[in-house]
């Protein structure tokens, strides 16, 4: 059976968990936090989560895991069927991760975990988020899905990363990313109603309490 390593507050972990649920694959969740422990580095050499254990071995990086799941378990596809639409899905995923989430992540210590982020960082992130949101607005109208006419793993990536990035921007930058993205609110409502997302969001809620306690204690 597949084993998914990570914790339910991690957005990248939750992308994979939702994909596994959407694909109807059996998997076991193993709670692990990012670290430099040998046992984690053996599975995830950068010490990040998520990572996954398959019958042939373990590996990390959420996009790589999504590709593996798609190739190893092509039933219930989570990628568009045409090569062009698949390229568009990957392009959107890159923008969501590299240019939007990785920038918004620089705000998370203060936005969510009681830490402090410098004014310089905030100013840099604001510029970067404006650019990434503008790119997204050119790539999709969110109608009805983020790419093509069926649900894909890009919808999972968007439905998990976008609300976090928006929250961080609203809290620290006095900026609402969604103002540049017409249709995104209704779209996220639809995607987050899916049973896979409902389960991930419920586990996130309970996991957050435990995680915050562990940070304090
Ligand atoms: N590129 C990685 C990013 C994963 C990631 O940043 N995970 C966070 C938890 S949400 C983490 O492990 N952070 C610890 C670290 O960056 O050292 C992926 O797509 O899986």
Q: Give tens-digit pLDDT for 69-125.
A: 999 999 999 999 999 999 999 999 999 999 999 999 999 999 998 999 999 999 999
Strands 57-60 and 27-31: unpaired
How far is residue 42's CA from residue 91's CA, in Å, rounded to a whole number?
30
pTM for the model stands at 0.97
pLDDT cut 90: percent of the chain above it: 94
Q: In angstroms, what is the span from residue 160 Cα to ligand 1's centroid?
A: 14
What three-state secondary structure class fits 141?
coil
Domain with CATH 3.40.30.10 in the chain: 2-72
Tokens of 63: 């996009």
What average pLDDT is seen over the chain? 96
* Ligand 1 touching residue 48 (CB < 6 A): yes
* Ligand 1 touching residue 11 (CB < 6 A): yes
Question: Which atom of ligand 1 is nearest the CA belonging to 11?
Answer: 10
Tokens of 169: 């921007």
Q: Whose CA is nearest to atom 16 of ligand 1?
A: 48
**CA distances, 124 to each of 60, 106, 118, 127, 138 (Å):** 29, 10, 10, 5, 22
* Ligand 1 touching residue 12 (CB < 6 A): yes
Q: In angstroms, what is the span from residue 32 Cα to ligand 1's centroid?
A: 12
How far is residue 177's CA from residue 162's CA, in Å, rounded to a whole number?
9
First vs last Cα of the chain: how many Å apart? 34
Question: Which atom of ligand 1 is nearest the CA belonging to 46?
Answer: 17
Beta-carbon contacts of 82 under 8 Å, excluding residues fewer than 6 positions away, are 148
Domain with CATH 1.20.1050.10 in the chain: 83-216
Candidates 3.90.650.10, 1.20.1050.10, 1.10.4100.10, 2.60.120.620; CATH matching 83-216: 1.20.1050.10
2-72 homologous superfamily: Glutaredoxin (3.40.30.10)
Tokens of 164: 């976090």
């Amino acid at each position: 059976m597949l084993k998914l390593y990570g914790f339910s507050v991690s957005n990248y972990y939750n992308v994979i968990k939702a994909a596994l649920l959407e694909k109807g694959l059996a998997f076991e969740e193993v709670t692990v936090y990012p670290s430099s422990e040998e046992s984690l580095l053996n599975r995830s050499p950068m010490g990040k989560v998520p990572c996954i254990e398959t019958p042939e071995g373990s590996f990390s990086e959420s996009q790589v895991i999504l590709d593996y799941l798609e190739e190893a378990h092509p039933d219930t596809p989570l990628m568009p069927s045409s090569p062009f639409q698949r390229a568009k899905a990957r392009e959107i995923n890159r923008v969501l991760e590299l240019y939007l989430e990785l920038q918004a992540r620089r705000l998370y210590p203060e936005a969510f975990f009681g830490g402090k982020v410098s004014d310089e960082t905030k100013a840099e992130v604001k510029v970067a988020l404006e650019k990434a949101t503008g790119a997204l607005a050119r790539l999709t109208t969110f109608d009805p899905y983020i790419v093509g006419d069926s649900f894909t793993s890009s919808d999972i990536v968007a439905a998990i990363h976008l609300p976090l990035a928006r929250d961080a921007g609203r809290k620290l930058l006095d900026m609402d990313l969604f103002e540049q993205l017409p249709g995104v609110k209704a779209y996220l409502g639809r995607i987050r109603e899916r049973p896979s997302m409902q389960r991930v969001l419920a586990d996130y809620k309970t996991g957050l309490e435990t995680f915050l306690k562990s940070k304090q204690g």
